[in-house]
């Protein structure tokens, strides 16, 4: 099956090249990279063995599969809560397809085919596929609206369902070569082409993703009407009449990114997941059509997000009410929302921004998101999940969206199924190419096979990242080949906590990355965050990259009021936190952390983590008297919290006590 995926991907790439331009930089297909590391590979294996089967089982147990069966029979009552519940099946099939491309699984393949057959029977003759209406067209759920499409601009999610159908069917076709799912998607896409467009029905989809899905179908089929429809949906934004003077984001259109045309937008706004999917689709169109207005808009929006609207661990969407971005610098810790789906969408968008610009700052942010606020959404057991990702948990504070522990499933389970489809694709973020330029973006032990100047080049990574920063890249070209190896020097090495300066390291000194080729230290120039090594590469060449991993204190921009006078702790790409389990059952009263840390690998803890052990202070009330004392402090990687029971957790720590509130 892997060989099939590779041959299909090659056909897909050749076909695309023959059609027209696309991203100037091309990601190396994930099937060309075989992982061997101890960090990501076990997670991907658990995803295949545990998470995907559990997701399919929950789709059955919660009635999601039954909805399709009832739609096929045109009988019954829609039995789940949300009109977009169909997509949990689509996303799980997408994840299974990615996973089977590298781990063939006949049993899973047969099961996926059985689900696709059920989906096919639920599709209406003209291609419409939306179980919430088809089961009982006269009595659809309220969100669906009384007729097709009439509520699409807000909450029906008809086009959202189509978008995830398109993405899943594309993955399944490329993974298996089968057309059974793709044909369902194309039938639905053809209905959309007949229904929407200039002189037809117009709408700005209430929840974006159909735009990304249409682009994927375009790349497979070469059908320009699919691409045109994706752009049409994007350009419909800003046309609907809203109450422009209202501060309510649902009433003024900001919640839907619909308050103004996309080319006039300059800040990350509204529902965070919707926003990420929109900006990713705009990047796709900018790459394919050369739309400079789209490009300028997403550049402005990215600067706004990274400079004013992102948490220190890469989380976005601060406001629980609407799962949305707040105003500039509105990043409270106690009520932080940080939906897991938003983190995944942020990863999608940042990869695309890199493919457009070739700048390492986008991979820096992608890495921050992946290692912190994204994988925190999945428990180490592979079957428990966070929908939201807290910045602090206190015993004396609760709010409706705060999750103190992970859950097996949710009524709205978009996040678990999004994780299912993201994890198998991780190897595809590691390398990219632009002609004779080979980009090394992520450091994960692996063997990758690339083609440079029509010659095979194998690159092996050997190291213990993210725990240590000594990287070995072993190159084995079939024949001596001249090309540029572009090795990312992470921003955290250069003294940059995040692009645009919303967070900064207390110690502003930049560390020096040392690079050697075949044991000889090499001078190198840095271009857009990459060390450029241009030479004739021969079999057996070894590049060693030393990335200093000092423990660093992070400070926030003074306009982030919740972080004033506080520090966070980062080592390498990992943001750390204190959890109750390691710190006497309580962490909300810790402050004054020292600057000396013991870096200790604990192989038997949390599936193997590097912990930081140091000194701090604790303030307590003993017999009515306020007491401050020195305390041993242990920090763990943020992603790993809440795997050992419920209790307090904190990312930010006061440097000193500024006052006491009596009660």
Q: Which one from 323, 339, 367, 553 is the annotated catalytic residue?
A: 323
CA distance 199 to 177: 36
Reading the block at residue 352, the tokens are 């695309």
Please give the Cα distance from 529 to 549 (Å, whole number): 17
Distant-in-sequence, close-in-space partners of 153: CB < 8 Å, separation ≥ 6? 203, 204, 205, 206, 240, 256, 258
Can you spell out the DSSP letters for 247-290? Answer: S-HHHHSGGGT-SS-GGG--S--SBHHHHHHHHHHHHHHHHHH-
Three-state secondary-structure class, residue 347: helix
Provide Rg for the chain, Cα atoms: 25
Tokens of 207: 């929840």
Is 412 among the catalytic positions? no
How far apart CA 5 and CA 412 sit, in angstroms, is: 32
The values of phi and psi at residue 294, to 5°, are: -60, -45
Q: Note whether 163 and 194 are within 8 A (CB).
A: no
Longest dimension (CA), the chain: 78
With beta carbons less than 8 A apart as the criterion, state whether 97 and 177 touch.
no
Pairing state of beta strands 481-488 and 437-440? Answer: parallel
DSSP class per residue in 583-616: TTT--TTEE---S-EEEEEETTSTTSEEEEEEEE
Instruction: State how far the Cα of 515 lies from the Cα of 35, in Å rounded to an integer.
Output: 23
Question: How far, in Å, CA of 158 to CA of 85, rounded?
Answer: 11
Is 415 annotated as catalytic? no
**Given 94, 351, 392, 414, the catalytic residue:** 414
> Which value, to the nearest 10 degrees, does the dihedral of the CA atoms of residues 387, 389, 394, 397 take?
-50
Please count the CA atoms within 13 angstroms of the CA of 28 that sit on its side-chain side. 27
In terms of Cβ atoms closer than 10 Å to its own Cβ (0-12, 13-18, 19+), residue 550 is: middle
Task: Evaluate whether 419 touches 378 at the Cβ level (below 8 Å).
Answer: yes
DSSP H helical ranges for 123-157: 131-134
Q: State the CB neighbour count (10 A cutoff) for residue 629.
A: 9
Q: Which residues pair with 552 in a beta bridge?
A: 570
Q: Note if the bond before 466 is cis, omega within 30 degrees.
A: yes
DSSP designation for 408 = S
Q: In 3D, which of 505, 491, 442, 498 has the Cα closest to residue 310?
A: 498
Catalogue the active-site residues.
Answer: 323, 414
């Amino acid at each position: 099956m892997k060989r099939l995926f590779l041959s299909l991907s090659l056909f897909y790439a050749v076909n695309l090249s023959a059609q027209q331009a696309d991203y100037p930089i091309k990601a190396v297909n994930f099937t060309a990279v075989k992982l061997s590391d101890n960090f990501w590979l076990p997670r991907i294996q658990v995803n295949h063995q545990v998470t995907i089967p559990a997701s399919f089982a929950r789709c059955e147990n919660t009635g999601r599969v039954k909805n399709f069966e009832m739609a096929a029979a045109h009988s019954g009552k829609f039995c789940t809560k949300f009109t977009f519940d169909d997509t949990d099946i689509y996303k799980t099939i997408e994840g299974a397809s990615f996973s089977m491309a590298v781990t063939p699984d006949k049993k899973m393949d047969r099961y996926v085919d059985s689900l696709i057959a059920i989906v096919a029977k639920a599709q209406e003759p003209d291609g419409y596929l939306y179980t919430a209406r088809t089961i009982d067209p006269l009595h659809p759920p309220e969100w669906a609206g009384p007729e097709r499409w009439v509520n699409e601009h807000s909450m029906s999610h008809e086009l959202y369902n189509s978008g995830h159908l398109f993405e899943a069917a594309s993955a399944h076709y490329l993974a298996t070569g089968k057309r059974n799912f793709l044909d369902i998607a194309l039938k639905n896409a053809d209905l959309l082409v007949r229904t929407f467009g200039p002189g037809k029905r117009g709408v700005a989809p209430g929840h974006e993703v159909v735009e990304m899905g249409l682009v994927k179908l375009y790349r497979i089929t070469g059908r320009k009407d699919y691409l045109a429809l994706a752009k049409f949906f994007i350009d419909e934004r800003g046309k609907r009449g809203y109450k422009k003077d209202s501060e309510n984001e649902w009433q003024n259109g900001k919640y839907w990114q619909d308050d103004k045309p996309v080319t006039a937008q300059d800040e990350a706004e509204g529902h965070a997941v919707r926003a990420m999917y929109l900006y990713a689709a705009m990047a796709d169109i900018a790459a394919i059509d050369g739309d400079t207005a789209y490009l300028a808009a997403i550049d402005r929006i990215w600067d706004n997000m990274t400079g004013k609207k992102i948490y220190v661990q890469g989380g976005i969407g601060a406001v629980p009410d609407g799962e949305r971005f707040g105003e500039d610098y509105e990043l409270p810790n106690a009520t932080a929302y940080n939906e897991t789906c938003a983190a995944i969408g942020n990863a999608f968008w940042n990869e695309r921004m890199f493919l457009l610009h070739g700048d390492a700052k986008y991979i820096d942010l992608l890495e921050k998101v992946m290692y912190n606020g994204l994988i925190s959404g999945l428990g180490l057991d592979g079957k428990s999940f966070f929908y939201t990702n807290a910045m602090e948990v206190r015993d004396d504070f609760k709010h409706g969206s705060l999750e103190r522990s992970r859950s097996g499933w949710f009524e709205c389970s978009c996040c678990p199924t999004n994780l299912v489809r993201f994890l198998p694709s991780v190897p595809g973020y590691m390398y990219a190419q632009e002609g004779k330029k080979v980009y090394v973006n992520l450091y994960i032990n692996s063997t990758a096979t690339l083609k440079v100047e029509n010659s095979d080049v194998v690159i092996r990574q050997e190291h213990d990242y993210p725990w240590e920063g000594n990287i070995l890249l072993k190159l084995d070209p079939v024949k001596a080949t001249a090309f540029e190896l572009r090795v990312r020097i992470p921003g955290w090495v250069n003294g940059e906590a995040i692009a645009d300066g919303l967070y900064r390291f207390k110690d502003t000194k930049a560390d020096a990355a040392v690079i050697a080729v075949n044991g000889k230290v090499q001078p190198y120039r840095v271009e857009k965050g990459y060390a450029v090594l241009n030479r004739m590469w021969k079999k057996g060449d070894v590049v060693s990259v030393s990335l200093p991993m000092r423990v660093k204190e992070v400070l926030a921009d003074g306009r982030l009021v919740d972080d004033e006078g506080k520090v966070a702790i980062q080592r390498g790409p990992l943001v750390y936190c204190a959890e109750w389990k390691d710190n006497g059952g309580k962490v909300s009263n810790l402050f004054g952390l020292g600057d000396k840390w013991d870096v200790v690998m604990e192989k038997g803890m949390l599936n193997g983590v590097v912990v930081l052990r140091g000194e701090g202070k604790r303030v307590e009330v003993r017999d009515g008297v306020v007491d401050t004392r020195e305390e041993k402090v242990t920090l763990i990687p943020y992603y790993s919290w809440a795997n050992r029971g419920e209790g307090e957790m904190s990312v930010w720590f006061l440097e000193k006590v500024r006052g006491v509130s009596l009660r």
